[in-house]
Amino acid sequence: MAFTDLQAKARRHLWPHYTEMSRVEDGSLPVIVRGDGCTVEDAHGRRFLDGLAGLFCVQIGYSHGAEIGRAAAAQLEELPYYPNWSYAHPRAIELAAEVADLAPEGLERVFFVSGGADAVETAWKLACQYHQERGERRWKVVSRHMAWHGTSLGALSINGVPGARLPFEPLVPGAVRTRNTARFRRPAEETDAQFCAFLLDDLEQAILREGPSSIAMVIMEPVQNVGGALTAPAGYFEGVRAICDRYGILLCADEVITGFGRMGEWFASTRYGIRPDLITCAKGLSSGYAPIGAVIASEEMAAPFLERGSMFLHGLTFGAHPVSAAIALKNLEIMRRERIVEHVAENQGAFEATLRQLLSLPIVGDIRGGGFFYTIELVSDPDTRETFDAEQSRRILHDFVSPRIFDSGLICRTDDRASPLLQLSPPLIAGQAEFDRITAILGDALTEAGKLLP
């Protein structure tokens, strides 16, 4: 279909996600038509280095469609659909075993869902019912300020981004918030240990305030995305685990972004020593080639259900869809074969070092993250770390930096929900050529952006 026809049809019929309708109306919504390697191409033939891996998910890049397509076609011929609801099918069983094999020790039981928010909703319900099976009534969840956990109403209730929640309140009761690990504006003299103690105290106080026996689970991303690739100080996750254990609360690691190699391990929980009872994951499980997610639960969590022979009261028509499961299996096979996770572990230092060249620009205040997941935080004054005001955010970040980067052939995310940030999460096959290109394009845009500051 010609681009002008596509545009006309989009204007009339398409309702894109989290997109101003004015962009559909004025025809500025990019229409991406194909991809290869780390590159995607739009309907005008313009090519872009995809610095966001679609939406933090295309781990293997865009060149495996034919191989994955053959696996999907074979599955469609063999068994196009059957539910995982009162029945099983081979791909669901094989994928469950494969995911359990890759997951941190002790996490053995896999419940498949359609995506990330589904996984979060499922984890919440599973945590509640786990407690109930053991004779306790617990229903609340603790999450961190600004942490993104999805947009369906349950996941949105847990979601820590106020702007996303507000129009839909009141939401599901029982969502409690604690501090996140944003460090950039903490006192310069504060040590890691002091910061860690401060955060853990905030978590424990929130739990005590709410009543520990009402709290079913704590959910945290190993590296928090919103707020800008927020890593935790040493000792934090050990402390969170100890607090959860003290009050009989389950710990869920939301690895929807960090799972499947992004941090240089199959799961970031391994890298950061998190020891969760539950992991929520999606995106990279299929490299985005099919919609599928999962909750991976510990043997301890499954035990009361197995002992009593009881049923988890939850199900989805498309949970473990055979074609999605076949695609995820093929994706994981490719990831193993091409040593994608090892590639991230071996190249994360080079990526970070290349990006850190941007710290010489006064507008760049901080570069943080790990693996293939980094954030560049912008400041209006490097000495005081003063952030942008609303007018600077609009004029510099949205009206200048964002289009300049895109027009230069790079897709990345500009985000000012917490502070002005550029987020990078390229396909996990990226190498030095991509690191250099990302850094060159950002360097050019940020040099010019710096001239717009007073």
Ligand X SMILES: Cc1ncc(COP(=O)(O)O)c(C=O)c1O
Q: Token digits for 181?
A: 């690990």
Complex with ligand X: residue 120 or 445, whichever CB lies closer: 120
Stretch binding ligand X (CB under 6 A), from 27-35, 109-117, 173-181, 324-332:
109-117
- Give the amino acid at 383: D
| 59 makes contact with ligand X (CB under 6 A) | no
Euclidean distance between CA atoms 260 and 273, whole angstroms? 16
Complex with ligand X: residue 293 or 365, whichever CB lies closer: 293
Euclidean distance between CA atoms 316 and 86, whole angstroms? 11
Handedness of CA 52, 221, 103, 70 (dihedral sign): negative
| 124 makes contact with ligand X (CB under 6 A) | no
Complex with ligand X: residue 226 or 396, whichever CB lies closer: 226
Q: Which of 327, 334, 355, 338 is nearest to 412 (CA)?
A: 355
- Looking only at Cα atoms, what is the longest distance across the chain? 67
- Give the amino acid at 359: L
Euclidean distance between CA atoms 93 and 58, whole angstroms? 24
Q: Which of 229, 266, 235, 232 is nearest to 370 (CA)?
A: 229
Q: Which of 452, 294, 200, 255 is nearest to 373 (CA)?
A: 255
Complex with ligand X: residue 293 or 322, whichever CB lies closer: 293
Euclidean distance between CA atoms 340 and 428, whole angstroms? 6
Task: Look up tokens 């001239």; give the residue.
Answer: 451
| 415 makes contact with ligand X (CB under 6 A) | no
Q: How far is the CB of 159 from ligand X (least distance, A)?
A: 8
Stretch binding ligand X (CB under 6 A), from 101-109, 112-120, 210-218, 228-236:
112-120
Q: CA end-to-end span of the chain, whole Å?
A: 47
Q: How far is the CB of 402 from ligand X (least distance, A)?
A: 19
| 371 makes contact with ligand X (CB under 6 A) | no
Complex with ligand X: residue 154 or 174, whichever CB lies closer: 154
Complex with ligand X: residue 395 or 413, whichever CB lies closer: 413
The answer to whether 373 and 263 are in contact (CB under 8 A) is yes
Complex with ligand X: residue 160 or 322, whichever CB lies closer: 160
The answer to whether 267 and 101 are in contact (CB under 8 A) is no
Residue among 35, 51, 61, 116 that touches ligand X (CB under 6 A): 116
Q: How far is the CB of 54 from ligand X (least distance, A)?
A: 11
Complex with ligand X: residue 91 or 144, whichever CB lies closer: 144
What binding mask, one character per residue, do residues 239-278 give for ligand X by CB under 6 A, x or -?
Answer: ---------------x-xx---------------------
| 148 makes contact with ligand X (CB under 6 A) | yes
Query: Could you tell me what percentage of the chain is helix, strand and coil, using 3-state DSSP and rounding each to the nearest 5?
Result: 45, 15, 40
Q: How far is the CB of 17 from ligand X (least distance, A)?
A: 9
Complex with ligand X: residue 50 or 221, whichever CB lies closer: 221
Q: How far is the CB of 304 from ligand X (least distance, A)?
A: 26
| 98 makes contact with ligand X (CB under 6 A) | no
* Size of residue set near ligand X by CB under 6 A: 13
Complex with ligand X: residue 216 or 363, whichever CB lies closer: 216
Residue among 29, 52, 113, 120 that touches ligand X (CB under 6 A): 120
Handedness of CA 225, 227, 230, 236 (dihedral sign): negative
| 150 makes contact with ligand X (CB under 6 A) | yes
Euclidean distance between CA atoms 214 and 154, whole angstroms? 17
Euclidean distance between CA atoms 245 and 228, whole angstroms? 29
Mode of pairing for the β-strands spanning 39-42 and 373-378: unpaired
Segment 276 to 315, residues that bind ligand X, using CB under 6 A? 282
Segment 333 to 352, residues that bind ligand X, using CB under 6 A? none
Q: How far is the CB of 435 from ligand X (least distance, A)?
A: 23
What binding mask, one character per residue, do residues 195-234 give for ligand X by CB under 6 A, x or -?
Answer: --------------------------x---x---------
How far is C-alpha 56 from the chain's CA centre? 6
Complex with ligand X: residue 148 or 435, whichever CB lies closer: 148
Q: How far is the CB of 245 from ligand X (least distance, A)?
A: 23
Q: Token digits for 140?
A: 């609340």
Q: Token digits for 142?
A: 């603790």
Euclidean distance between CA atoms 394 and 401, whole angstroms? 10
| 117 makes contact with ligand X (CB under 6 A) | yes
Query: Which residues make up the interface to ligand X (CB under 6 A)?
Result: 115-117, 120, 148-150, 221, 225, 254, 256-257, 282
